[in-house]
Amino acid sequence: MLFAAVVYWFEANKIPISPLDGLVGADGLPKSLAYVLAGLSLLLIVRGINDTKIRLRSDLADPDETGSISDWIKPHLRAAGMLAIGVVYLLLLPWLGYTIAIAALLLAVSIYNGAKFNLHTILVAVIGAAFCQLLFVQFLGIALPNGELIDQIIGHF
């Protein structure tokens, strides 16, 4: 994922800069996402190294007890589930628009990671999406597309 973040940053760096851009250009959001992805990737790398050290120490302390394949594959399946949520988010993004898609993403990730589906979880997702909307649209001046669904709803009025 660290490699993907670097490639993503270089691709975002190819976005042309317009003289009409404000403080944050069109490459601002993609580069920010690349930085976040790189940071999270580094955290996962450090965590993986620490987990490996702990596992090696416990194997040395009790060599008869080794983890089963299912214990080894569970974290990978969890990561695949998170990746699937991200792919569904990207597929729904053009249709739902950024704000609704971000709310759905926050809700899906929360529930996937053990949160109960209740009013609190829904409010966290809605408030998180509203925060992103305020941050990018109001504070940074980056327009986020509505998506086809919202455009159709607005078109009926």
What are the tens digits of pLDDT across the range 3-25?
Answer: 888 888 888 888 777 666 666 66
| pLDDT > 60? residue 66 | no
Domain boundary among 66, 84, 116: 66
Nearest to 28 by CA among 139, 147, 146: 139
- Which residue range(s) make up the domain with 60? 1-66
- How does DSSP assign 48-113, residue by residue? HHHHHHHHHHHHHH-TT----HHHHHHHHHHHHHHHHHHHHHHHHHHHH-HHHHHHHHHHHHHHHT
Running DSSP on this structure, what letter comes out for residue 154?
Answer: H
80/154 same-domain check: yes
Number of domains in the chain: 2
93/123 same-domain check: yes
47/93 same-domain check: no
Amino acid at 3: F
What is the pLDDT of the chain when averaged over all its residues? 83
Cα distances from 69 to residues 77, 82, 86, in angstroms, run: 12, 21, 26
89/139 same-domain check: yes
| pLDDT > 90? residue 106 | yes
- pTM score of the predicted model: 0.57
15/61 same-domain check: yes
90/40 same-domain check: no
Contacts of 67 (CB under 8 A, 6+ apart): 55
* Residue predicted with more confidence, 42 or 140: 42
9/62 same-domain check: yes
